[in-house]
């Protein structure tokens, strides 16, 4: 069954419940829809060694890629405080490895409101495979 845009932000909100956030107490949920309509969700998973923390978006992306998906259609992100969370710079770059600049990224603003960006707006200059061309030997 196709997952509507409304259902996708709801899936991101639902994913908040699984967040492991004993340190920040800031829950993040993400829902990533693939080109064939499959949805993968993720939540942030913190660690006592803070830098080991997994972000919701990278958990969703990893799950999708692990299951053979390389093309993405839409990402929804929500936070527990409904404060207009957006993917951090690291997650933007991770998404750009697979998604085009025009990937819609919809962010929960609370009170039923959302803001929509494209990945290209959020990260206009990505590091891509082409960026590395000059460094590689022929």
Q: Which residues bind ligand THU (CB under 6 A)?
A: 21, 24, 26, 28, 44, 46, 53, 55-57, 87-88, 91
Measured between alpha carbons, how far is 51 from 60 in angstroms, rounded to an integer? 18
Interaction between residue 21 and Zn ion (CB under 5 A):
no
Measured from the CB atom, the residue of 57 and 73 that comes closer to ligand THU is: 57
Measured from the CB atom, the residue of 13 and 55 that comes closer to Zn ion is: 55
* 48 assigned ligand-binding residue: yes
- Residue 21 interacts, among Zn ion, ligand THU, none and using kind-specific CB cut-offs from 5 to 8 Å, with ligand THU
CB of 88 to Zn ion, least distance (A): 3
Rg (CA), the chain: 15
DSSP-assigned letters across all residues of 56-92: HHHHHHHHHHHTT---EEEEEEEETT-S-----HHHH
SS3 call for 32: strand
Measured between alpha carbons, how far is 116 from 108 in angstroms, rounded to an integer? 9
**Which one of 17-25, 81-89, 102-110, 114-122 is the stretch in contact with Zn ion (CB under 5 A)?**
81-89
Closest C-alpha to 90, from 44, 47, 48: 44
| Residues paired with 39 in a beta bridge | 33
109 noted as active-site residue? no
- Residue 34 interacts, among Zn ion, ligand THU, none and using kind-specific CB cut-offs from 5 to 8 Å, with none
- Annotated catalytic residues are 57
* Binding-site annotation: residue ranges: 44-50, 88, 91
* Binding-site annotation: residue ranges for Zn(2+): 88, 91
* Binding-site annotation: residue ranges for substrate: 44-50
């Amino acid at each position: 069954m196709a997952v509507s845009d409304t259902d996708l932000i709801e899936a991101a909100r639902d994913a908040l419940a699984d967040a492991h956030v004993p340190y920040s107490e800031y829950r993040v949920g993400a829902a990533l829809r693939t080109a064939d309509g499959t949805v993968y969700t993720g939540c942030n998973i913190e660690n006592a060694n803070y830098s080991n923390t997994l972000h919701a978006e990278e958990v969703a992306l990893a799950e999708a890629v692990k299951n053979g998906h390389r093309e993405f259609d839409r990402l929804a992100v929500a936070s527990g405080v409904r404060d207009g969370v957006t993917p951090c710079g690291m997650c933007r770059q991770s998404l750009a490895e697979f998604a085009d600049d025009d990937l819609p990224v919809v962010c929960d603003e609370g009170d039923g409101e959302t803001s929509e960006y494209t990945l290209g707006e959020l990260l206009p200059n990505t590091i891509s495979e082409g960026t590395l061309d000059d460094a590689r030997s022929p």
